[in-house]
């Protein structure tokens, strides 16, 4: 390494600038290989090889509990999946969580960002109140909100009671449990949305609003014709990342309901985890993961296409 | 500087009452859950089960904190979380500094392709690799070890950190490095003695994001490290639940202990974190 990257001061006198840059060009290739190698090795070990392995395992009957050697079964695992009601239920829950919490977090985040953009005398408490939900681990948020929604001593039911409503036994009914999970996810993820949108808001030139004022455009019209269009790029990127993480939802339902009652609030990620770690059925777990992989690759493909058209 | 105080508008929207309400909503939304857990952690079991529930603890006690450390090896969970997060952050930074330097400074033929690849990896659902990673770690005998987590966590933050650092490096004038190399520095020397120090804020920001990512991760930690002495905090916290008992004050105390380190980080470096999040604009 040292021989290719050492540059002696004495070389300068002999070589004109052109030669000096040629030296750079020559070593660029080997240097690049060297610098990118650690990242490439890590990605190969943790992403590329496992992806191949995943596709491979998914066509085998590989259960660690049976003690039998892996047996090639072709698409049997996928056929089992089609007949498996729990697969459909967990996939549907995952899609539903994505469809509810992504737009939900966007709307709440937009509201929080518009509020945070007001001219406060002190900025740091506002910033901090957006950062804390982001920094809180998802699993912690799940536990904290499980306590919030506790049927006896939870603060949510306490507030409901104070307003004269009857408390809800959140985790006994599939629908209420699902609602509690979605609310928690929206709370947890909306402040990240708000931070991204806030950064976008702060780049909009004020002169645009001044011009709109002169033209007599109302506040609502300004919002829809100036603010929203200019926020679009930052919103779209945030939405795509949020969608991909929503498809992987695990921590919050795992901590809040454990998937219950029954499997009514279980997600695809939880089902993959259960098959892999609890049942040690690696073949079926892999086939499930392939489905999730396909789902999120669709979203990534949209994203990459958008980046390309932007350039 | 706000969009809502454009001149000529004297509506309620720009007035003081609105700001007051907005600040209230923002603070309650951001702080209340953490505050509520703090209150719960200071209550006695008797006060907790009193009806109607109390909001502010009447007789604050630290007993729950004592119990949080004595019922389970909370200090071990903390130590594991801290070391895994710290080591994976260090590895992430080292690897991404090198890669980002190559992408920012060398005229690579496949630069565009590599960048697209990194973006694609940044959206990669690590959950799907649970089975193969589990198999790999089992084969390498790495289940129940820090390494089983450090390697995936490094990959988790690598794309974001690399993309961030590429843009930071591109902001450093090349002349500074060239000058250092003329003075006898090797190219690597110039990178670590000139470029990295100049980008220190950027490298540091990338480091905070990587640290928080690792500190938060749950699924892999849950799946790979089942041995209590190797559990990280999010996984260890589950051990407080008995089969029928759910000691909320003790769990709350453990949660508070787990929130404090990251909260301190956030309070001190909030501006930097916000700039990093919005520049890299990535995880949620």
- The three-state DSSP-derived secondary structure of A37-63 is HHHHHHHHHHHHHHHHHHHHHCCEECE
Global pTM reads: 0.86
Residues of A within 8 A of B90 (CB-CB) are none
| Assigned domain for A157 exists | yes
Query: Nearest CB to A237: which of B96, B121, B281?
Result: B281
What range defines the domain where residue B22 resides? 3-64
The reported pLDDT for the residue numbered B26 is 93
pLDDT at position A20 over 60: no
Strand (E) or helix (H) holding A71 = strand A71-72
Chain B segment 106-125 residues within 8 A of A by beta carbon are: 106-108, 114, 116, 119-121, 123-125
- For residue B100, what pLDDT is reported? 92
Examine the domain organization and report whether B123 and B234 are in the same domain. Answer: yes
- In the listed set B23, B39, B64, which residue is the last one of a domain according to the structure? B64
User: What was the pLDDT predicted at A27?
Assistant: 65
Instruction: List chain B residues with CB under 8 Å of A45.
Output: 136, 151
Q: A19: pLDDT confidence band, cut at 50, 70 and 90?
A: very low
pLDDT of A87 over the 60 cut: yes
B258-B263-B269-B273 Cα dihedral, nearest 10 degrees: 80
Rounded CA separation B31/B28 (Å): 5
A72 φ, ψ to 5°? -70, 125
Provide CB contacts within 8 A for B132, sequence distance 6+.
A49, A50, A51, A53, A54, A57, A286
Structural domain count of chain B? 2
Residue A13 has what pLDDT?
A: 41
Measured between beta carbons, the chain B residues lying within 8 angstroms of A206 are: 1, 3, 6
pLDDT of residue A311: 53
Q: Does B201 share its domain with B236?
A: yes
Our separate counts of H helices and E strands in chain A read 16, 2
Residue B15 tokens read as: 């007035």
The answer to whether the beta carbons of residues B167 and B103 sit under 8 Å apart is: no
Q: Domain check: are A173 and A268 in the same one?
A: yes
What kind and span of H or E run contains A72?
strand A71-72
Same domain, yes or no: A108 and A46: no
pLDDT value, residue B284 = 35
Say if residues A124 and A159 touch (Cβ distance below 8 Å).
no
Residue A68 lies in a domain: no
User: Which residue in the set A187, A234, A277 is minimally distant from B223, CB to CB?
Assistant: A277
Strand partners, A63: A281
Distance between CA atoms of A190 and A274, rounded to whole angstroms?
29
Please tell me whether residue B284 adopts helix, strand or coil conformation: coil
Domain for residue A41, yes or no?
Answer: yes
B23/B156 same-domain check: no
Mean pLDDT, residues A48-56: 90
Q: A44 lies in which domain range?
A: 2-57
B268 at the A interface (CB within 8 A)?
A: no
């Amino acid at each position: 390494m040292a021989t290719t990257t050492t540059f002696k001061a004495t070389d300068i006198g002999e070589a004109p600038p052109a030669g000096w840059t040629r030296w750079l060009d020559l070593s660029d290739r080997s240097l690049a290989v060297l610098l990118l190698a650690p990242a490439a090795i890590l990605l190969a070990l943790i992403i590329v090889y496992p992806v191949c392995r995943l596709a491979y395992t998914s066509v085998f009957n590989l259960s660690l509990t049976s003690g039998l050697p892996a047996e090639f079964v072709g698409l049997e695992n996928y056929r089992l999946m089609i007949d498996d009601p729990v697969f459909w239920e967990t996939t549907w829950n995952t899609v539903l969580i994505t469809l509810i919490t992504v737009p939900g977090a966007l709307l709440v985040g937009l509201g929080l960002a518009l509020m945070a953009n007001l001219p406060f005398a002190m900025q740091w408490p506002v910033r901090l109140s957006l950062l804390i939900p982001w920094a809180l681990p998802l699993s912690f948020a799940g536990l904290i909100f499980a306590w919030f929604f506790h049927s006896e001593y939870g603060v949510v039911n306490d507030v409901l009671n104070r307003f004269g409503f009857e408390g809800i036994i959140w985790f006994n009914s599939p629908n209420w449990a699902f609602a509690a999970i979605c609310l928690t996810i929206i709370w947890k993820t909306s402040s990240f949305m708000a931070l991204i949108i806030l950064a976008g808001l702060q780049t909009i030139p004020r002169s645009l609003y001044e011009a709109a004022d002169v033209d007599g455009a109302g506040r609502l019209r300004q919002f829809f014709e100036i603010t929203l269009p200019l926020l679009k790029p930052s919103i779209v990127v945030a939405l795509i990342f949020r969608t991909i993480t929503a498809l992987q939802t695990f921590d919050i339902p795992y901590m809040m309901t454990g998937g219950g009652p029954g499997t009514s609030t279980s997600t695809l990620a939880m089902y993959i985890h259960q098959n892999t770690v609890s049942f040690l059925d690696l073949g079926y777990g892999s086939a499930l993961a392939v489905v999730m992989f396909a789902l999120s690759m669709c979203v990534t493909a949209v994203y990459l296409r958008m980046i390309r058209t932007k350039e | 500087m706000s969009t809502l105080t454009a001149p000529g508008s004297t509506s309620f929207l720009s007035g003081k009452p609105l700001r007051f309400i907005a600040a209230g909503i923002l603070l309650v939304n951001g702080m209340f859950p953490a505050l509520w857990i703090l209150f719960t952690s200071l209550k006695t079991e008797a006060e907790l089960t009193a009806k109607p529930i109390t909001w502010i603890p009447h007789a604050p006690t630290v007993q729950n904190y004592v119990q949080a450390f004595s019922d389970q090896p909370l200090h071990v969970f903390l130590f594991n979380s801290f070391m895994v997060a710290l080591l994976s952050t260090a590895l992430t930074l080292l690897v991404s500094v090198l890669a980002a330097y190559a992408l920012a400074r060398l005229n690579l033929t496949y630069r565009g392709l590599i960048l697209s690849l990194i973006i694609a990896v940044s959206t990669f659902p690590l959950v799907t690799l649970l089975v193969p990673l589990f198999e790999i770690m089992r084969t390498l005998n790495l289940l129940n070890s820090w390494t089983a987590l450090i390697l995936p966590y490094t990959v988790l933050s690598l794309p974001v950190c690399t993309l961030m650092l590429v843009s930071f490096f591109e902001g450093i004038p090349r002349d500074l490095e060239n000058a250092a190399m003329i003075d006898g520095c090797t190219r690597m020397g110039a990178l670590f003695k000139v470029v990295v120090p100049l980008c220190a804020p950027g490298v540091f920001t990338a480091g905070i994001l990587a640290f928080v990512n690792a500190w938060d991760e749950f699924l892999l930690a849950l799946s790979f490290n089942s041995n209590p002495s190797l559990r990280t905090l999010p996984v260890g916290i589950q051990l407080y639940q008995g089969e029928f008992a759910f000691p909320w004050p003790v769990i709350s105390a453990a949660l508070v202990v787990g929130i404090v380190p990251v909260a301190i980080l956030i309070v001190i470096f909030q501006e930097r974190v916000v700039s990093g999040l919005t520049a890299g604009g990535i995880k949620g």
